[in-house]
Structure 1
Amino acid sequence: MTNTDANTKTATTSTGTTFNLGGDLPVSRIGYGTMRLADGPDAPGGASAPIWTPPADRAAAIALLRGAVELGVNLVDTADAYALGAGEELVADALHPYGDAVAVSTKVGVTRPSPTEWVPLGHPAYLRQQAELSLRRLRTDRIDLLHLHRLDPAYPIADQVGALAQLQQEGKVRHIGLSEVTVEQLEEARRTAPIAVVQNLYNLGARDHEDVVDHTAARGIAFLPFFPVAMGGHTGPGSPVAAVAAELGITPAQAALAWLLHRSPNLVPIPGTGLVTHLAENMKALEVVLSADQFERLDDAA
């Protein structure tokens, strides 16, 4: 799937609801990020959330994951660093056996020495070990999508991606992804192995990766924006986001997701939430049609 004009942001009157990840794995263009399914109710939220312990209410978290799939989510994103592996175990408890109902994405390449530390570690042997542990925790013989959670400057990109490519050649990984990379880093990685997905921070208020969105779109590479719903002053009462949402009879969060879906056909947002009602609202964003004027107003909101 490609963008016909990779250097121009345009709105469409409708959006495709699926993306063929890696050319052979169709997924809904609204996925689910599980990072927030950790810790207890008193833990800090947002970027300062520790993501250190299993969820305080495990039954509710399992019900939420199953509810997501029932609502049409078929891409669930986790990581070995979420709650020290407990995030992957939670996904398995909720959704295994996965069958064709859900594709699971996980990540390796970050160590957690403490609740406040996320430290990249790209030693190839460590990456392969962590993937083996992910396979065990997810109770699967093959990971649908394995991301390099962060590039480690201490090791050549070719060595880090090469470790994931080895797992792919062994049949343990279906597709390889990267997280928080530049266009240059992506292209260097692609010289070692095919890259099916890039997962970077991107939303209405965080636009540092515009060039990566366009570059991946032109090459049929999926772009998974994490933290896709940016809430702040630009979405509050009287804002362009609130105005467009009111015109369409939707929430500001749905308007923000709709902007992403219209921004480029390769964008697959993975919003996280702890409420089934929010899950249902997120999925409804797939049905939102933006006019060119509404898209431009949202685009200028931040």
Structure 2
Amino acid sequence: MTTAEAAPLEPGHSFAPAKINLTLHVTGQRADGYHTLDTLVAFADLGDMVTIAPACDLSLDVRGPFAGGVPTGAENLVLRAARLAGMETGAITLDKHLPPSSGIGGGSSDAAALLRALGRDRDLPPEAILTLGADVPMCLLARAAHVSGIGDVVCPVPDLPALPAVLVNPGVAVSTAQIFATLSERNNAPMTVRPDRPDVPTVLHWLAAQRNDLEQPAIAHAPVIAEALAALRDAGSALARMSGSGATCVGLFGDLDAAHKAERRLMARHPGWWVRTTLLT
């Protein structure tokens, strides 16, 4: 479609929720360098917001509490998604509330939100979407899923109960590529079979037997991650685990009241950390 034939851009907005890896098993590495994973992901009820509006040129305005950590050039994933979708003009606003480079899929979720705002989340070829990053397909679904392959096999998990959680980021940015590069073992066992029709206690029991294979390499790179995990356990979490390649950690709780109490305790003890209560679905 030429520019002259393009339909006028309709104003719109789309929520970009935080992606949380409840498990992350690294199961191999392909000849092309991509790692294969087996991971259970869920999405928070907090995140960024992407807004689009008509304009003569294509532009990106990043605002919000974490705007300073976001690149605004051609490498920005939202702009890359816009160009992939054929967006040649329009004003994009990214309201950034998630800490960048923190293992919760912020940039990938922002790119997925832009595609949803444009109405292009269902008609782009999967291989094209993967060029934006391995987390983008799961962020397009934006609900609990079992993800495998290099991130290209995304299977919804509709029976996962809502999980009360506290997210903690101790204020360090972690390079995903660097953490993968320091892995000592890349051929690990996948997840065990998930329980059928689970409730929260059953899920917590099952999750405790799973892993995040990137956790120890990330702690070696940024020891404060171990402090964040210990702080979540101290605050009463039933399970504390790092998400993605870090540095955000997630503590799971039996109910939201316990999560809110833990949030208050953590904020009082670590005022410089990013701490948020959420419900994962």
User: Shared fold by TM > 0.5?
Assistant: no
More strand by share: 2
* TM-score between both structures, scaled by the size of structure 2: 0.28
